[in-house]
């Protein structure tokens, strides 16, 4: 009997072998939560959702090795679930997930693709395709930190957003995903008019030379010292910084 992806009677693998089987109830929660992705309005929302979800896993993991095992397990459990939400979860993970886990997620997506799967949201075609378009630094003389903003858009010009990273003594002390660009620009104009800050345009390669090494320094920071909001944006920040030239 044929068991390829186009056969309605294709073989579905049995329960996956997990590195951390004690976390199966947690993985099942992610499977159920994946249905939320089907209601997201675009690729940006989905990418931020994934960053927040895996940020919770990152915050709970005692170290990078445990986090890696948990991510591998999660891909296996999502593949086994095979729901429309699980499929989209895997698609987002294949595009913007932790780099070392993207191939496994992409393979799981390919395994699940077939006639039984409902058509995924149209925005899945835009996953991972954002481009850096502008950057600047914002300095406030009263603070011991400098804020850097890198702006991004998707190929069709939609999804204008920014990554805000504040550095102090060479280390990131704040990571923020900015989705309200009009509000952000209005606030920058306000503080400029009040003479509170200095805004300097940065070529994208310059922003890259500043931000990538600073972000890499986070590897030396114990996970327990990073706050929940910080964890929620770690994956998003890692992907967006990788887009810089």
The tens digit of pLDDT for each residue in 154-174 reads: 999 999 999 999 999 888 999
Tell me if 5 is assigned to some domain.
Answer: no
The Cα–Cα gap between 79 and 130 comes to 26
Q: In what order do the strands lie in the sheet with 198-201?
A: 171-178, 161-168, 146-153, 131-139, 198-201
- 98: in domain: yes
Question: Looking at the domain assignment, is residue 153 inside a domain?
Answer: yes
CA distance 229 to 227: 6
Residues 42 and 74 in one domain: yes
How long, in residues, is the chain?
245
Cα-flanking dihedrals φ and ψ of residue 41, to 5°? -85, -10
- Tell whether 122 and 135 lie within a shared domain: no
Domain co-membership, 237 together with 165: yes
Q: Please say which residue of 99, 126, 153 terminates a domain.
A: 126
110 and 158 both lie in a single domain: no
Question: What is the structure's pLDDT at 53?
Answer: 96
Question: If you search the block for the tokens 């909001």, which residue do you land on?
Answer: 229
Q: Which domain holds residue 99?
A: 21-126
Number of Cβ atoms within 10 Å of the Cβ of 154: 20
> Which among 159, 202, 196, 199 is positioned nearest to 181, based on CA atoms?
159
Evaluate whether residue 205 is within a structural domain: yes
Domain shared by 169 and 89, yes or no: no
Tokens representing 46 are 């989905």
Question: What residues contact 158, with CB distance under 8 A and at least 6 apart?
Answer: 42
Identify whether 197 is part of a domain: yes
Residues 211 and 237 grouped into a single domain: yes
Q: Minimal CA–CA distance to 242: which of 163, 155, 168?
A: 163
**Residue 46 domain-assigned (yes or no):** yes
Task: Look at the chain and report how many structural domains it folds into.
Answer: 2
Q: Which of 95, 126, 157 is the last residue of a domain?
A: 126
Residues 142 and 100 in one domain: no
Q: Are residues 75 and 149 in the same domain?
A: no
What pLDDT is stored for residue 191 in this prediction? 81
Q: Note the pLDDT tens digit of each residue in 50-90.
A: 999 999 999 999 888 999 999 999 999 999 999 999 999 99
**Cβ atoms of residues 216 and 154 within 8 Å:** no
Inter-residue contact 123 to 43 (CB < 8 Å):
yes
2 within some domain: no
> Which burial class, exposed, middle or buried, applies to 178 when counting CB atoms under 10 A from its CB (0-12, 13-18, 19+)?
middle
Residue pair 92/164 in contact by the 8 Å Cβ criterion: no
DSSP structure string for 24-65: HHHHHHHHHHGGGGGG--SHHHHHHHHHHHHHHHHHH-SSHH
pLDDT lower than 50: segments of the chain: 1-11
Pick the last residue of a domain from 72, 107, 126: 126
Question: What is the predicted pLDDT for the residue at 118?
Answer: 85
Are 60 and 119 contained in the same domain?
yes
Whether residue 238 lies inside any domain: the answer is: yes
Do 175 and 84 lie in a common domain? Answer: no
Residue 47 · residue 177 · CB < 8 Å? no
Is the domain of 169 the same as that of 74?
A: no
Cβ atoms 237, 98 nearer than 8 A = no
Contacts of 87 (CB under 8 A, 6+ apart): 109, 112, 117, 120
**Residue 139 has which token pair?**
């300095």
Q: Are residues 227 and 135 in the same domain?
A: yes
């Amino acid at each position: 009997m044929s068991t390829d992806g186009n056969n309605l009677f294709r073989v579905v693998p049995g329960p996956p072998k997990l590195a951390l089987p004690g976390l199966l109830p947690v993985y099942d929660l992610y499977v159920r939560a994946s249905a939320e992705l089907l209601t997201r309005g675009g690729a940006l929302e989905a990418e931020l959702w994934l960053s927040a979800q895996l940020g919770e896993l990152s915050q709970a993991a005692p170290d990078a090795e445990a986090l890696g095992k948990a991510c591998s397990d999660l891909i296996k459990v999502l593949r086994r679930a095979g729901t429309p939400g699980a499929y989209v979860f895997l698609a987002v993970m294949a595009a913007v997930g932790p780099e070392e886990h993207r191939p496994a997620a992409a393979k799981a997506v390919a395994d699940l693709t077939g006639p039984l799967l409902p058509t995924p949201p149209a925005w899945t075609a835009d996953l991972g395709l954002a481009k850096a378009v502008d950057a600047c630094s914002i300095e406030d003389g009263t603070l011991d930190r400098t804020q850097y903003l890198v702006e991004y858009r998707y190929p069709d010009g939609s999804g204008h957003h920014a990554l805000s990273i504040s550095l102090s003594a060479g280390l990131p002390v704040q990571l923020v995903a900015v989705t309200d660009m009009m509000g952000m620009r209005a606030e920058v104009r306000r503080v400029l008019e009040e003479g509170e800050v200095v805004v300097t345009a940065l070529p994208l390669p310059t922003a890259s030379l500043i931000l990538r090494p600073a972000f890499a320094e986070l590897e030396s920071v114990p996970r327990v010292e990073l706050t929940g909001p910080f964890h929620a944006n770690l994956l998003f920040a890692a992907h967006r910084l990788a887009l810089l030239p």
